[in-house]
Structure 1
Amino acid sequence: MEFEWQHHGDAVSMKHFLTTHGISMRLIKAVKHGDGQFIVNQQVQTGVITVQAGDVAGIRLPDEAADPSVTISEQPITVIYEDANWLVVNKPAGLTSVPGPSNRTDTLVNRVKGYLVAHQAPNQKPHLITRLDRDTSGLVLVAKHRVAQSMTTWAPMAATIKKTYLAWVTGQLTPASGTIDAPIGQVDAQPRRVVTDSGQKAVTKYWVQTTYPTATQVKLQLVTGRTHQIRVHLTHLGHPLLGDALYGGPMALIKRQALHAATLQLTDPFTGHDFSWQAPLPADLTQLVNQLK
């Protein structure tokens, strides 16, 4: 893999040049330690490197081989979008995002690895940029190589990544829109999170979409990204998600938390193009809406 850009302006160090194009210090250090090469005008450079005005500079990296510790799953994935850098997948409810003690063989990471290997992708180590709880459905952004992963932590791109969720909660949520600013923390080693003064800052924006006799459909956007943030914040307001057993949501109409990652937007740092994707409601949420009507 090779990524390069033309420099405009005064002479700068290679480190400064690369960081202004979204290459992380971690990746720069990896190249310094032999995992790749620095290039200027198609020539490999070492030592102290200065990039002059008009130079075309960047990095050259070996392809990422598949991680042998990650099992290949041949179960299918639903691909919403794919190019050389990104993969956008519609994750079904019931599928864990990453391998863990309870499941190391058939998570989203295992399935994406299987997909990349089957398609003989040059880089076969998926990097999940966004993650969803096991029982949350919807869009997940995957970086197909280390440079794309690095770009998602770069402030100009990170600011463009916007996700919205749809949730169905108990009761009639008021006011019709608002911002929930309440810190979230963990009690002992319990999986359930709570709003607590000693927790991490957590901010969620919401907009009521539809009000039913016993429930509300609401759109949400995360400003921060804490574990279970939407579920905790809505429970804190007294409106837990339907089907969310962990947070006291009623189970009569749906057997998993009624939460769906519905849209994803970003500005691609490689092309400058603005992208927007939408995931249709899965069958169980469509059925839920029909029941609520």
Structure 2
Amino acid sequence: MDTRFTLHFVADKEGQLLREALQEWRISKKALTAIKFDGGLLTVNGVERNVRHVLQEGDYVGVTFPPEERSDGLAIEHGDLTIVFEDDAILVLDKPAHQSTIPSREHPTKSIANLVCGYFEQQGLASTAHIVTRLDRDTSGLLCIAKHAHIHHLTGLAQRSRNISRQYEAIVHGHVEQNFQSIVAPIGRKVTSIIEREVREDGQYAHTDVTVLKRFLLDAEPVTYVRLQLHTGRTHQIRVHMAYLGHPLVGDDLYGGSRHLIDRQALHCVSLSMEHPLTGRPLHFTSMLNEDMQRLLK
């Protein structure tokens, strides 16, 4: 059975080159090169054609993408995944805390990407794990994975157009004074660290909205429960912005938080909204806070 990913389109312009139609259908030049040289296929009304073929209105075009290969460092592993949504294009998962999204030198196994590759293998899917929305190892909640390189390309376009929206909830040290505020502060790598980021003038543009949900005391210490809307997706963005505000996340000892209440940063991706990359249908997913954060709120 051919497990390659195939999309079908109907030509709506008389006399248009197949190459021009593929561009309008958002097939990237990189994908076309892979189709030509790595085992893909272009067909018109069931007959193999090249990109110089002239289309007639109503022609039925098939685009078959080549099988994808995993990188050498991404081993296939099997384990539990909490699937929130799945179809032929995307996979939305609810990630627990203390699990990496992709393998690293410190945590080379049992990452989401490793387990997704194992899951795809069980499905007979000739693909690898394409992470659309990544979460830090100790952050829990929703993340999206594209099942194919072309879908990853489409979701990348959506992200650049700010058409993928994520909301997080967190518990931070201190009482945040303003009920709502926008933090617009560029983020870059800290010179003295390969891991830490900081707000710095030569950093990348970063924008986070902060809404206060509740101010309370934990062991006589003031803390605030906040909702955070990401408008950009910089590494450690929420953690850096809240520390910059003077309110590091509870449990985030990398950025000034304390771990005496929880053994990881108290941060959870509670909602993910996007348009389906193929159909354009609005999708909205939600996730309840993990038990460790719920316990702090009680």
Q: 1-side partners of 2:264 and 2:68: how far apart?
A: 36
**TM alignment of 1:71-220, pairs within 5 A:** 71-118=75-122, 120-155=123-158, 159-188=162-191, 190=193, 191-213=195-217, 214-220=222-228
* Alignment map for 1:214-233 (pairs within 5 Å): 214-233=222-241
The aligned amino acid for 1:242 is V
Q: Which moved more, 1:68-77 or 1:169-178?
A: 68-77
* TM-fit CA distance, 1:130: 1.0
- 1:182 is displaced (CA, Å) by 0.5
Structure 1 residues 110, 224: closer, same or farther in 2, change over 3 A? same
Q: Which residue of 1 aligns with 2:57?
A: 53
Question: How far has the Cα of 1:247 moved from its partner?
Answer: 0.3
Q: CA deviation at 1:34?
A: 4.1
Task: Name the CA distance, whole Å, in 2 between partners of 1:22 and 1:109.
Answer: 26
CA offsets, 1:225-282, max 9 Å, x none? Answer: 1110011011111111000000001222111101101111111132332211111111
Distance 1:158 1:121, change over 3 A: farther
Equivalent residue for 1:265, pick from 259, 273, 286: 273
Change (3 A) 1:185 1:44: same
Paired residue secondary structure (1:97)? coil
Distance 1:32 1:189, change over 3 A: farther
Within the alignment, does 1:18 sit opposite 2:22 as a pair? yes
Verify the 8 A CA contact 2:158 2:164 in the aligned structure 1: no
How many Å apart are 1:86 and its aligned residue?
1.3
- Once residues 48 and 284 of structure 1 are traced to their aligned partners in structure 2, the CA distance between those partners, rounded to angstroms, is 58
Task: Give secondary structure in 2 for the equivalent of 1:89.
Answer: strand
Counterpart CA distance in 2 for 1:211 and 1:92 is: 26
Query: Within the alignment, does 1:6 sit opposite 2:14 as a pair?
Result: no
**Gap runs ≥5 in structure 2:** none
- Between the aligned partners of 2:63 and 2:209, the Cα distance in structure 1 is 39
Question: Secondary structure of the equivalent of 2:156?
Answer: coil
Aligned-partner SS, 1:138:
strand
CA shift for structure 1 position 66 = 5.5
Change (3 A) 1:61 1:123: same
Percentage identity across paired residues of the two chains? 36
Q: For residue 3 of structure 1, what is the amino acid of its counterpart?
A: L
Partner of residue 255, structure 1: 263
CA contact (8 A) 1:242 1:250 kept: yes
Cα RMSD, aligned residues only:
2.1
Taking structure 1 as the reference length, the TM-score comes to 0.91
Aligned to 1:43: 47
Query: Structure 1 regions of 5+ residues with no counterpart?
Result: none
Q: Distance in 2 between matches of 1:256 and 1:34?
A: 43
* Alignment CA distance shift 1:124-1:242 (3 Å): same
- Determine the C-alpha separation between the residues in 2 that align with 1:141 and 1:183: 25
CA 1:57 to 1:236, structure 2 compared with 1: closer, same or farther past 3 Å? same
The structure 2 residue matched to 1:30, chosen from 27, 34, 39, is 34
For 1:139 and 1:81, the matched residues in 2 are separated by 10
| Inter-CA distance 241–69: structure 2 relative to 1 (3 Å threshold) | closer
